[in-house]
């Protein structure tokens, strides 16, 4: 009673209690009304506020007073917080007023605690511990009042309709107990709250803006990274790929409303106080033009507002580097069972990092006739996350080198330790170092008391159960949003569907099928946007999308919670698909099958995924297991691992079918890539020839038989492609068969089994046939079965119908011809496989041969010519037909001949055939003449453009790679394919300054073996902007490639640095960006231009041939050298002599 501040706080708590009860009663009343109206719309429950609320005027006055008191307390603490970091204070009223609300209830009076720290986290109480302590007094009552006058935390036994627990904590209703709340009782009450074992000291003195620069000397103790140290000391220099347009007459910010204007005023004042922005004088804003952006504010989750600097237009002028952030998945890999977790939150994270003075003018805003500019990295700048992550990396590496399990996602840090004591010790070390480096730790958001259940990045991590789950609030919000869409399914815009779907997919880490059951929603949304090109046009949802939303509404809470432990595959299945069939292997088992007409018409990606589905359903894999699927198709791999996709509707539906089967059998699948040459068994199974007894009665004929002697119950000789009844027995393992090999089981166990056995059977067929009632044939089998059996024929047998074959059929014939040719050569299985691996490898030569062989097989099929024993005249007719149909040149005709010759049983008889060679010679002689002279090309324009691209690490990655490709092509006579084959690990700078690198497996070979070419490129002596060594150094040190792996290539994709550039992309770069500036000739190469330029500059032919790796100088002279015209004046040299001036008469002789 002697402390007025205590009385004021008690009064505030009393008012807050009444406000909470009012809010709860309002929500309860609204829910009751909804329930009543669901039974009868006429029912309604009137609100009675007599026992719950203050009068309106008194309530508003109280709320204003509470807000003013809170603001006054906060301002007092801001001005005086430095006094309470290390000194002790007595329990005076002046010191008590500096305590925040959460610090009001502490264990012991202020005199026993060493003062109060503003950012202290000693009051992060464990709510479960408090609940257990409180409920021990009397667990039978919902509300138990202890001797302090406070109601203990209780659990409401009547859960609401969504199964959530309601907890209320409030001040007792009895006014007398408020007055009897003495200091002794306060101390007893304090002791009911557990405190952490070791207090964590948090301190902050300087403003947050560019705070790290004041601790630059401390950073040099842990960081040797030049980018980090330069950014800390001088500020971040924004690397624009194009200078942004600047102005001296900016457009002022126009707020949305008066409330927004007031909030922006507060936000700017707050930024000024934090020294995150600075005022720009009118003279400076006119002398130094800048780039101006707008600002608005958004509410925070925990109250207050967050200023948002709209830098969308500025971000268009810089390339945000791609980098890897440590997400919740990386956290799950470092956490072990029963670990203790703590989290650290950094206050105003981006504002700690300063902005270079030269870049500040690009982050300006004008508000109420005053210009401001940022002094720090801003929230909204696309490269700010990269800079922040890069700056924090040395800290993480420092602690990880000491064995700490620590991770950071921007300003959210988490630390795990095996014991509570170790966690306390390590978190103290981390906080101390962070403060030593200048960071301000947010004590209110940090959880510095070790716990085994912690919320991090929106997930609740539980190390006791090793699960990650969504908080109940998130579940409730998602479920409410789904209900809102389901209530109005006929008027939903793509934007609403996209927002809801992304919220569900964001929960993938905690909810396993989050991706699987949102694919139809995303696909339908994409189609709506594609057709209407309007994100806000309401459209009705289709049935598949509504089914997915209903599934989520019913199963969201059921699927909440996912194991953090990595899944280790216990079974491995190898799968493959070809144009004719599918194959798979598991352990010592193998299986294969063929495509139906509808399946063969699908894409190869669909067939590869279907092969995985058929493999899973064919083998009796155990339930409750994890299966690894090895495939050589990256698309099917992605659709398995990502639970579908949205680019292809057939693939999406098939992936959903696969995963539904797995979930029904409690099987988890993973897909992993395997190179085709290593997937031998599955590949061989998928390319098997048609089984000689693979047939099917035509459906009309079976209907007649079934009508006469049926109905039949089972098809004894069938597979999934030839079955005529739902239940069937297959000859080989089959995904839908109830049994394998009908000859091994009795047939009389079924009623009227249907048997269409193979023509050639062994004696084992007598036993089951003898147990059945057979119907004798009235005609010979050949007459009866000939018109109704569909069976693959011999490749060299032609029907009267000469219609074209499909590409799939042509490819099947081609592969069988090649295999049959090897079989006839009496080679063993290993020899056959080695040769087939080479012939079917995805090389450029094999692809070209395949295309031309398919042309020949198609022509031969139409003209009834043998595929493997054709004559020289047949080859001439084929070449003439192709030349007339496609207007082919002689070089292409020769390629056609070579490809078709490989199919012949005696290839040499065609390659040396005089008729074929004479025909090709006649075509060559009829061809129009070609010029043997290649005009010289002046490369000055291309070199001048290359000089405009600066060789520095701040240049954008794409133009920097284009420049290096051009310089290396010129300096080393490299092809685009050579550039694509340079490993980054082979590039080195020698002490004398030259650059060495290797080209691995270029196009040329030595004695048919692949080679490695080594090159040395010297630095430019006079022009640094045309120096390839300097350009390579800039590319090597580029920030976008900081995470480059050692096995990467020199030239990589700008947005996906882990993937190499193709030779076609490099060729396009060189022609479009450089060669086109110097010549309009279409088929010129850098190799020809560079080598000819070297010859013109006086370099000897021997050196040119050596650098170009040509077999001889004649190769260079005939195919690459330009400007082969003689430069000598033969007119004056040949037509010259010493003549005297003499007159010759017509009758004189010249003797």
Interval 170-182: pLDDT, tens = 333 333 333 443 4
- Mean pLDDT over each residue of the chain, to the nearest integer: 78
Q: Say what the pLDDT of residue 790 is.
A: 38
Which DSSP helix (H) or strand (E) runs through 486?
helix 472-487
Residue 38 and residue 132 in one domain:
yes
Does 712 or 46 have the greater pLDDT score?
A: 712
Residue 141 has pLDDT above 50, yes or no: no
Out of 48-62, 695-709, 810-824, least confident range? 48-62
Report helix, strand and coil shares of the chain as percent, to nearest 5. 45, 10, 45
926 confidence band (pLDDT: 50, 70, 90): confident
Q: Identify whether 1114 is part of a domain.
A: no
- How many percent of the chain have pLDDT more than 70? 76
Contact, 326 vs 409, CB < 8 A? Answer: yes
Q: For residue 450, give the nearest of 344, 329, 331 by alpha carbon.
A: 344
Q: Identify whether 180 is part of a domain.
A: yes
CATH number of the domain at 587, please.
3.30.420.10
Helical segments of 345-441, H only: 384-400, 420-436
Q: How far is CA 31 from CA 46, 474, 478, in A?
A: 12, 20, 19
Mark which of 465, 500, 529 sits at the end of a domain.
465
Average pLDDT for 82-109: 36
Taking CB atoms within 8 Å and a gap of at least 24, the contacts of 741-747 are 742/716, 742/717, 742/768, 743/767, 743/768, 746/771, 747/716, 747/771, 747/772
Please give the angle made by the CA atoms of 409, 412 and 416, to the nearest 5 degrees: 90
Average pLDDT for 88-99: 37
Does 428 or 531 have the greater pLDDT score?
A: 428
Looking at residue 1074, the DSSP 8-state letter turns out to be I
pLDDT in tens, 446-465: 999 999 999 999 999 999 99
pLDDT in tens, 943-995: 999 999 999 988 999 999 999 999 999 999 999 999 999 999 999 999 999 99
pLDDT in tens, 870-909: 999 999 999 999 988 888 888 889 999 999 998 998 888 8
- b or e along 855-893 (b: 16 or more beta carbons within 10 Å of the residue's beta carbon)? bbbbbbbeeebebbebbbebbbbbbeebbeeeebebebb
Q: Identify whether 1089 is part of a domain.
A: no
Q: Say what the pLDDT of residue 71 is.
A: 62
Residue 305 and residue 413 in one domain:
yes
Sign of CA dihedral 91, 97, 103, 105: positive
Please give the angle made by the CA atoms of 948, 952 and 955, to the nearest 5 degrees: 70
Contact, 716 vs 729, CB < 8 A? Answer: yes
Residue 774 and residue 663 in one domain:
no
Residue 858 and residue 917 in one domain:
yes
233 confidence band (pLDDT: 50, 70, 90): very high
Q: What is the CA radius of gyration of the chain?
A: 41
Rounded to a whole number of angstroms, the distance between the first and last alpha carbons of the chain is 150
pLDDT in tens, 1006-1046: 877 888 999 999 999 889 899 999 999 999 999 888 878 77
Domain with 769 in it? 700-790
pLDDT in tens, 718-753: 777 777 787 877 766 777 776 776 666 777 677 778
Residue 490 has pLDDT above 60, yes or no: yes
164 confidence band (pLDDT: 50, 70, 90): very low
pLDDT in tens, 346-394: 999 999 999 999 999 999 999 888 999 999 999 889 999 999 999 999 9
Does 327 or 696 have the greater pLDDT score?
A: 327
Does 98 or 246 have the greater pLDDT score?
A: 246
800 confidence band (pLDDT: 50, 70, 90): very low
Residue 302 and residue 431 in one domain:
yes
Q: Which range, 84-88, 294-298, 339-343, 818-822, is most confident? A: 339-343
Out of 146-160, 310-324, 460-474, 975-989, least confident range? 146-160
Contact, 836 vs 822, CB < 8 A? Answer: yes
User: What secondary structure, in 3-state letters, does 723-739 show?
Assistant: CCCCCEEECCCCCCCCE
DSSP character string of 509-545: TTBGGGTGGGHHHHHHHHHHHHHH--TT--BPPPHHH
**Rounded Cα–Cα distance for residues 630 and 622 (Å):** 18
Q: Say what the pLDDT of residue 861 is.
A: 86
Q: Going edge to edge, which strands form the sheet with 370-374?
A: 277-280, 370-374, 364-367
Find how far residue 819's CA is from the centre of its chain. 40
CATH number of the domain at 956, please.
1.10.443
Does 117 or 1095 have the greater pLDDT score?
A: 1095
Mark which of 686, 714, 743 sits at the end of a domain.
686
Residue 218 and residue 237 in one domain:
yes
Out of 755-759, 878-882, 1116-1120, least confident range? 755-759
Residue 941 has pLDDT above 70, yes or no: yes
Contact, 231 vs 391, CB < 8 A? Answer: yes
Q: Identify whether 1119 is part of a domain.
A: no
126 confidence band (pLDDT: 50, 70, 90): very low
Q: Helix axis angle, 957-972 relative to 1063-1070, nearest 10°?
A: 80
Residues constituting the chain: 1151
Q: Identify whether 682 is part of a domain.
A: yes
Residue 606 and residue 671 in one domain:
yes
pTM for the model stands at 0.51
Q: Say what the pLDDT of residue 618 is.
A: 85
**Rounded Cα–Cα distance for residues 425 and 372 (Å):** 43
Residue 504 and residue 401 in one domain:
no
Q: For residue 1002, give the nearest of 1032, 1044, 1035, 973 by alpha carbon.
A: 973
687 confidence band (pLDDT: 50, 70, 90): confident
Total tally of structural domains belonging to the chain:
7
Out of 674-678, 789-793, 856-860, least confident range? 789-793
pLDDT in tens, 525-558: 888 888 877 888 888 998 999 999 999 999 888 8
Judging by DSSP bridges, how do beta strands 668-673 and 696-697 pair with one another? unpaired
Mark which of 1045, 1065, 1082 sits at the end of a domain.
1082
Average pLDDT for 612-627: 86
Residue 132 and residue 73 in one domain:
yes
Q: Identify whether 549 is part of a domain.
A: yes
**Rounded Cα–Cα distance for residues 971 and 1093 (Å):** 10
**Rounded Cα–Cα distance for residues 902 and 915 (Å):** 18
CATH number of the domain at 240, please.
3.30.70.270
Residue 276 and residue 381 in one domain:
yes
- CB count in 10 Å sphere of residue 1058: 13
Partners of 460 in the beta sheet? 455, 469
Q: Say what the pLDDT of residue 59 is.
A: 60
Residue 585 and residue 668 in one domain:
yes
Q: Say what the pLDDT of residue 1004 is.
A: 80
Q: Say what the pLDDT of residue 223 is.
A: 86
Taking CB atoms within 8 Å and a gap of at least 24, the contacts of 645-652 are 645/519, 646/519, 646/522, 646/523, 646/526, 648/603, 648/605, 648/606, 649/523, 650/602, 650/603, 650/606, 651/603, 651/605, 651/606, 651/609, 652/519, 652/520, 652/523
Residue 263 and residue 370 in one domain:
yes
pLDDT in tens, 69-86: 666 666 555 444 444 343
**Rounded Cα–Cα distance for residues 861 and 545 (Å):** 48
Q: Identify whether 1144 is part of a domain.
A: no
- List Cβ neighbours of 642 (8 Å cut-off, separation of 6 or more): 515
- How many percent of the chain have pLDDT more than 90? 32
Question: What are the tokens at 672?
Answer: 């992993």
Out of 42-51, 163-172, 704-713, least confident range? 163-172
**Rounded Cα–Cα distance for residues 416 and 405 (Å):** 5
**Rounded Cα–Cα distance for residues 395 and 383 (Å):** 20
Q: Identify whether 987 is part of a domain.
A: yes
Residue 169 has pLDDT above 80, yes or no: no
- b or e along 673-703 (b: 16 or more beta carbons within 10 Å of the residue's beta carbon)? ebebeebeebbbbbbbeebeebbbbeeebbe
Out of 108-122, 250-264, 291-305, least confident range? 108-122
154 confidence band (pLDDT: 50, 70, 90): very low
Torsion of CA 884, 887, 888, 893, to 10 degrees: 0
Please give the angle made by the CA atoms of 848, 849 and 850, to the nearest 5 degrees: 90
Out of 103-112, 799-808, 958-967, 991-1000, least confident range? 103-112
User: What secondary structure, in 3-state letters, does 421-463 show?
Assistant: HHHHHHHHHHHHHHHHCCCCECCCCCEEEEECEEEECCEEEEC
């Amino acid at each position: 009673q002697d402390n007025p501040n205590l009385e004021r706080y008690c009064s505030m708590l009393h008012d807050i209690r009444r406000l909470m009860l009012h809010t709860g009663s309002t929500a309860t009343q609204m829910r009751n009304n909804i329930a009543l109206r669901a039974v009868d719309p006429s029912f309604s429950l009137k609100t009675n506020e007599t026992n719950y609320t203050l009068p309106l005027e008194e309530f508003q006055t109280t709320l204003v007073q509470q807000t003013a008191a809170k603001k006054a307390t906060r301002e007092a603490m801001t001005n005086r917080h430095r006094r309470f970091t290390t000194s002790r204070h007595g329990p005076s009223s002046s010191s008590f007023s500096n305590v925040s609300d959460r610090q009001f209830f502490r264990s012991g009076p202020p005199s026993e605690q060493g003062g109060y720290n503003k950012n202290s986290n000693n009051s992060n109480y464990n709510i479960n511990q408090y609940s257990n302590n409180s409920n021990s007094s009397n667990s039978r009552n919902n509300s138990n009042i202890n001797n302090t006058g406070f109601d203990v935390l209780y659990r409401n036994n009547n859960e609401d309709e969504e199964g959530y627990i309601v907890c209320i904590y409030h001040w007792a209703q009895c006014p007398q107990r408020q007055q009897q709340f003495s200091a002794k009782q306060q101390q007893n009450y304090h002791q009911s709250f557990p405190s952490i074992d070791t207090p964590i000291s948090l301190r902050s003195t300087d403003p947050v803006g560019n705070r790290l620069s004041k601790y630059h000397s401390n950073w040099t103790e842990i960081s040797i990274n030049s980018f980090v140290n330069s950014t800390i000391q001088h500020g971040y220099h924004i690397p624009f790929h194009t200078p942004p347009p600047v102005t001296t007459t900016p457009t002022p910010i126009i707020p949305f409303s008066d409330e927004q204007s007031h909030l922006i005023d507060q936000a700017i004042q707050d930024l000024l106080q934090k020294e995150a922005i600075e005022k720009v004088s009118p003279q400076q804003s006119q002398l130094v033009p800048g780039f101006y952006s707008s600002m608005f504010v958004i509410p925070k989750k925990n109250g207050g507002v967050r200023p948002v600097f709209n830098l969308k237009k500025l971000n268009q002028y810089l390339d945000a580097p791609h980098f890897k952030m440590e997400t919740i998945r990386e956290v799950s890999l470092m956490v072990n069972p029963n670990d203790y977790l703590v989290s650290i939150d950094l206050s105003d994270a981006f504002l700690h990092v300063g902005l270079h003075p030269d870049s500040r003018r690009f982050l300006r805003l004008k508000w109420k006739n005053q210009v401001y500019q940022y002094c720090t990295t801003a929230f909204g700048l696309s490269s700010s996350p990269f800079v922040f992550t890069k700056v924090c990396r040395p800290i993480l590496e420092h602690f990880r080198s000491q064995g700490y399990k620590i991770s950071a996602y921007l300003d959210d840090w988490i630390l795990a330790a095996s014991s509570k004591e170790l966690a306390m010790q390590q978190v103290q070390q981390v906080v101390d170092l962070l403060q030593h480096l200048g960071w301000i730790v947010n004590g209110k958001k940090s959880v510095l008391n070790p716990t085994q259940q912690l919320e991090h990045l929106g997930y609740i991590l539980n190390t006791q159960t090793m699960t990650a789950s969504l908080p109940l609030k998130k579940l409730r919000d998602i479920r409410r949003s789904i209900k809102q869409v389901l209530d109005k399914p006929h008027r939903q815009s793509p934007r609403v569907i996209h927002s809801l779907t992304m919220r569900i997919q964001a929960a993938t880490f905690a909810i396993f099928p989050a991706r699987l059951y949102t694919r139809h929603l995303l696909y339908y949304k994409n189609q709506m946007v594609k057709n209407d090109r309007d994100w806000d046009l309401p459209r009705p949802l289709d049935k598949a999308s509504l089914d997915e939303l209903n599934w989520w509404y019913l199963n969201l809470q059921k699927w909440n919670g996912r194991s953090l432990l990595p899944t280790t595959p216990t079974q491995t299945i190898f799968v493959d698909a070809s144009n004719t069939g599918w194959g798979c292997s598991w352990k010592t088992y193998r299986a294969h099958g063929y495509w139906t007409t509808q399946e063969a018409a699908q894409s190869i990606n669909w067939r590869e995924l279907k092969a995985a589905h058929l493999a899973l359903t064919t083998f009796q894999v155990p339930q409750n297991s994890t299966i690894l699927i090895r495939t050589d198709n990256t698309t099917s791999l992605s659709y398995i691992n990502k639970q579908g996709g949205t680019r292809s509707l057939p693939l999406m539906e098939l992936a959903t079918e696969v995963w539904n089967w797995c979930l029904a059998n409690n099987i988890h699948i993973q897909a992993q890539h395997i190179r085709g040459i290593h997937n031998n068994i599955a590949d061989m199974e998928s390319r098997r020839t048609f089984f000689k007894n693979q047939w099917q009665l035509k459906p009309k004929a079976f209907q007649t038989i079934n009508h006469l002697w049926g109905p039949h119950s089972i098809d004894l000789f069938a597979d999934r492609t030839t079955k005529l009844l739902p239940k069937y027995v297959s000859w080989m393992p089959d995904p839908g068969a109830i049994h394998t090999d009908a000859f091994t089981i009795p047939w009389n166990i079924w009623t009227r089994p249907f048997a269409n056995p193979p023509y050639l059977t062994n004696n084992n067929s007598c036993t089951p046939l003898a147990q059945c009632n057979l119907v004798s044939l009235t005609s010979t089998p050949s007459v009866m079965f000939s018109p109704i059996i569909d069976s693959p024929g011999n490749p060299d047998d032609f029907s009267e119908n000469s219609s074209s074959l499909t590409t799939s059929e042509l490819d099947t014939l081609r592969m069988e011809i090649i295999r049959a040719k090897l079989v006839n050569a009496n080679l063993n299985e290993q020899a056959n496989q080695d040769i087939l691996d080479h012939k079917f490898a995805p090389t450029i030569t094999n692809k070209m041969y395949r295309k031309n062989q398919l042309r020949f097989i198609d022509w031969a099929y139409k003209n009834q010519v043998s595929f493997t024993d054709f004559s020289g005249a047949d080859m001439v007719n084929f070449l003439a037909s192709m030349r007339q149909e496609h207007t082919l040149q002689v070089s292409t005709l020769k390629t056609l001949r070579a490809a078709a010759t490989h199919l012949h049983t005696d290839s040499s008889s065609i390659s040396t055939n005089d008729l074929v060679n004479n025909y090709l010679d006649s075509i060559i002689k009829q061809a129009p003449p070609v010029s043997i002279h290649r005009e010289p090309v002046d490369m000055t324009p291309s070199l001048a453009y290359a000089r405009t691209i600066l060789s520095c690490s701040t240049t954008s990655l794409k133009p920097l790679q284009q420049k290096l490709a051009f310089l290396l092509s010129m300096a080393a006579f490299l092809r685009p394919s050579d550039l694509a084959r340079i490993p980054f690990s082979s590039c080195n700078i020698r002490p004398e300054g030259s650059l060495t690198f290797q080209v691995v497996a270029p196009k040329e070979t030595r004695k048919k073996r692949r080679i490695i070419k080594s090159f040395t490129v010297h630095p430019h002596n006079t022009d640094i902007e045309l120096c390839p060594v300097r350009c390579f150094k800039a590319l090597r040190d580029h920030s976008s490639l900081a995470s480059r792996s050692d096995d990467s290539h020199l030239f990589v994709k700008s947005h996906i640095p882990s993937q190499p550039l193709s030779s076609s992309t490099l060729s396009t770069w060189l022609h479009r960006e450089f060669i086109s500036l110097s010549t309009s000739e279409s088929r010129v190469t850098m190799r020809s231009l560079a080598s000819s330029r070297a010859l013109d500059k006086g370099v000897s032919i021997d050196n040119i041939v050596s650098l170009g790796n040509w077999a001889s100088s004649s190769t260079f002279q005939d195919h690459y050298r330009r400007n082969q015209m003689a430069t000598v004046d033969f007119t004056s040299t040949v037509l010259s002599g010493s003549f005297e001036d003499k007159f010759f008469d017509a009758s004189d002789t010249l003797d």
